[in-house]
Each structure stands twice: as C-alpha cells, then as structure tokens.
Amino acid sequence: MKFTEFGLDDSLIESIAATGYEEATPIQEKVIPIILKGHDLIASAQTGTGKTAAFLLPIIQRLLQHSNDGQVNGMVIVPTRELAIQISQNLEGMSYFTSISSIAIYGGNDGMNFSTEKQALSRGVDLVICTPGRMIAHLNMGYAKLDGLQFLVLDEADRMLDMGFHDDIMRIIGKLPAKRQTLLFSATMPEKIRQLSRKILHQPEEVNIAISKPPDKIVQEAYVVYDSQKQPMLEHILTNTQCKMILIFCSSKQNVKHLARDLKRAKFKIAEIHSDLEQNNREEVLMQFKSGRTPILVATDILSRGIDIDNIDLVINYDVPHDGEDYIHRIGRTARAESDGVAITFVNEKDQNRFAVIEQLLGSPVRKAMVPTELGPVPDYKPRARRGGGGGKFKNGKRQGGYHHHKGKSQKPHKPQQPQQPKQ
C-alpha cells in the first residue's frame, strides 16, 4: 500500500518521500487507519517492523489538523535514551516538511539539556519523546503544560516493565488528561502488559504482527547486482550448483513468465507456476517438481506460504520480496524437516532499500556473495538512509530541526576481497 492512500497531508507525504519510504509495511497498513480514526490501540510488534512510523505518521497527521498552542500535545514514553534518540531522529525526518515541533528528553546527559527541555515543556511542543525518569524529574517541578495533551504512546512497554518503570509510568499518566488517545506497543504480550493495558487504554483495537525468524540452518546470501546481471548470475548458479530441487521466486507473474521463457531458451529444465495457471495445471506442475522430474520451478509468492514440499535445497529470490514477512516465508520453503538449505537473493539497485529493511528485521546483514568476475563490475551496496537526524525543533523556540542521512546504519564494513564484492 502506498502512503498516498492514507489521505495524509501533502507536507507529510513529501517528508515521507524524502525519508525514502515507498510502501507501507504490514504494521503501518494496519495501524495507521486505526490511529487516524482516534481509537486506542494495543499492538504487538518488534523493532524492525516499521512500528515507529506506524504511530508517528498518524499522530503527525492529526496534529497538523489540530494542535493546542502553548501545550505539550503528545508524549512518547520509551525505556532507553538510545530509543528516545532514534525515535526523535525518525520523527524529524517524517515531520521535516511539516510544522510539527518535537524534543527528545532523556537522562544521562548530566543535566546539560535540562533548561532547553524545561523551556519546551513550559512553552509547549507538539511531541515529546522521553524516558520515564527524566520526565518525572521535570513533572515534579510543575511547569510542564500537559492539560492539552492529546496523544500518549508507550513504546516497548514490556521492556519498560522489565526495567521497573511501572510506577513511574503510572505517575506520569496520573498527570495527563484522561481524555486522550493512548497507544501501547510491545514486542511480547505477557499478563502484566495486559493488566497495564486494562488500566490505561479505553476500548483499544488490537493488532498483532508476529514475525518469526528464519531457522538458523538456512544459509542466506545476497548478490548485489545490476538488473542486467540477474539473468547471467542465475544461469551461472544453476549451471554450477549441486542442488537438486530449486525454487526461484519473482515478484510478479509477468516476471515469472519472462524468466521462465528465457531459462527454457537457455535449455534449463524448468516449470512455472502463478495465478494465471488453472488449478489442475498448478497441481500437475507441483507434482512434477515434487517427483524431481522438473528440478527447477519459477514461482510467484503464490508458493511462498503453506506449500508443503520437503526437499527444496535452494531458494532463489530473483527479485527482493516485498517485506520481511514475505522474505521469511519464501526462504522458509527450504531447509524444512531435517534437511539444510540455501537462500540466495538478487538485490538490484532499486531494491537495495527494501533489502536493508529486511536485514534490519532479521537483526543482522545477509552475507554479500562474490559475483563472478566475468559478469563485470557490480554496484556498491549503499541502501539509502532511513532515519532523519539530530536535534529537535520547538514551538516558539529558537532551535530548528536538522535533517541528514545516516548512511548504511547497522551494516558492518566489509573488506572487499575481489573487485566484484559490493561495498557495504
């Protein structure tokens, strides 16, 4: 789903585009409409799913429609200063072309920022991203203008409770207006989170985005290539592999048809499967594949879920899947039961950003494999940055938000051993 379909303000759409997001992630698709309608929410979602934008975007949208001047309009409470900084950087990117003001308030900076924070809380600011302890320190002095607060978000609520912040959170909430929209995000949903939600949420909607990690025994690799190198790269792999059952995924049935045609021309023994085939043809194709008569199957995502074929030893993503969930489902077709498996993804220049998001969800970068020298030079792996950066901008205040890109975060530098190794 495109961000333009949510009915967001032009300035917000412009900021989203500048941040580099193109399509909403599954959690954003579910959560944004709920928040825009004004419902309370309890959502289970891990870091890496795009949950931050899922709550920030609709809150920014609603603040653009109505913000109380001279007041703190929204508060996001998080467990750590790192997360406060990260969310506030995200927020700066997403609100860059809007009039939304924000500030991150967290401990551990030796009180250096205390007077700036005090100023923002007493003069008013659209959104405060804070850790509980530091917020309480300010609230105890009584200058924070909280009567107009409309939004409260608890992010990583399970972690906050594990860190012993329950009472601090309740103290902060005690100072907020009862009529507000409250959103609770948590990676897990133990009973103590349910109890907390019963205390602070009002008839919440519930959203679950559970993402399982792929089994460790799947060896994952990616080839960073130009689009024109995908086909020769694939033929190279198919010619040299020992694998006996190979499943190749493309992102559309058009791509499946083209690739299947080209591979047939190159004399590979392949079959194709997609939604244009009649059900009985599909079954026939699957039978042939399972029995080993056709060792290579080119498929759309029609085959990424729930299909039980046990012996696939190689999955190739000819196109990068739409999101992390699709990636995990696709590569989960290999290494089933007792067997091991390999999952290879071709990443062209256009898909680098999407692949970087998938890597974030996986929690570590996928190893970039060498492209054979005869295929020529390959592009660098330089996914565009996703977080806006630095500082904070206050209503009525002097400081204006900055915006810069953090290149290739989470990617460890990788020493090239051959000229074809993509730089990370």
Under the binding rule (CB under 6 A), the answer on residue 259 touching ligand AMP is no
CB nearer to ligand AMP: pick between 294 and 345: 345
Kindly state the smallest distance separating residue 224's Cβ from ligand AMP, in Å.
18
Residue range at the interface with ligand AMP (CB under 6 A); choices 18-26, 151-159, 180-188, 269-277: 18-26
Q: Within 10 A of 296 (CB to CB), how many other CB atoms are there?
A: 23
Kindly state the smallest distance separating residue 234's Cβ from ligand AMP, in Å.
26
Residue among 262, 238, 232 nearest 374 (CA)? 232
Which of 386, 401, 403, 421 is in the footprint of ligand AMP by CB under 6 A? 386
* Residue 178 Cα distances to 135, 171, 192, 383, angstroms: 18, 13, 21, 43
Q: Find how far residue 167's CA is from the centre of its chain.
A: 31
Residue range at the interface with ligand AMP (CB under 6 A); choices 20-28, 180-188, 326-334, 344-352: 20-28
CA-CA distance, 120 to 117, in Å (whole number)?
5
Under the binding rule (CB under 6 A), the answer on residue 24 touching ligand AMP is yes
Residue among 124, 131, 48 nearest 84 (CA)? 131
CA-CA distance, 129 to 148, in Å (whole number)?
16
CB nearer to ligand AMP: pick between 62 and 386: 386
Kindly state the smallest distance separating residue 357's Cβ from ligand AMP, in Å.
5
Kindly state the smallest distance separating residue 67's Cβ from ligand AMP, in Å.
23
Kindly state the smallest distance separating residue 406's Cβ from ligand AMP, in Å.
9
Sole residue written with tokens 């009915």: 7
Kindly state the smallest distance separating residue 374's Cβ from ligand AMP, in Å.
34
CA-CA distance, 137 to 121, in Å (whole number)?
12
Residues 25-54 that bind ligand AMP (CB under 6 A): 25, 28, 47-53
* Beta bridge partner(s), residue 252: none
Under the binding rule (CB under 6 A), the answer on residue 6 touching ligand AMP is no
DSSP 368-411: EPPPPGGG-------PPP----S--B-TTSS--------TTTTP
Which of 6, 8, 15, 21 is in the footprint of ligand AMP by CB under 6 A? 21
How many Cα atoms within 13 Å fall on the side-chain side of residue 320? 22
- The one-letter amino acid code at 183 reads L
CB nearer to ligand AMP: pick between 43 and 296: 43
Under the binding rule (CB under 6 A), the answer on residue 357 touching ligand AMP is yes
Interface with ligand AMP (CB under 6 A), residue total 17
Under the binding rule (CB under 6 A), the answer on residue 391 touching ligand AMP is no
DSSP 212-255: PPPPTTEEEEEEE--HHHHHHHHHHHHHH---S-EEEE-SSHHH
98 by DSSP, 3-state: which?
A: coil
Which of 102, 360, 420, 424 is in the footprint of ligand AMP by CB under 6 A? 360
Under the binding rule (CB under 6 A), the answer on residue 94 touching ligand AMP is no
CA-CA distance, 103 to 116, in Å (whole number)?
9
Sole residue written with tokens 């190893």: 367
Under the binding rule (CB under 6 A), the answer on residue 387 touching ligand AMP is yes
CB nearer to ligand AMP: pick between 286 and 357: 357
Q: What residues make contact with ligand AMP under the rule CB under 6 A? A: 21, 23-25, 28, 47-53, 90, 357, 360, 386-387
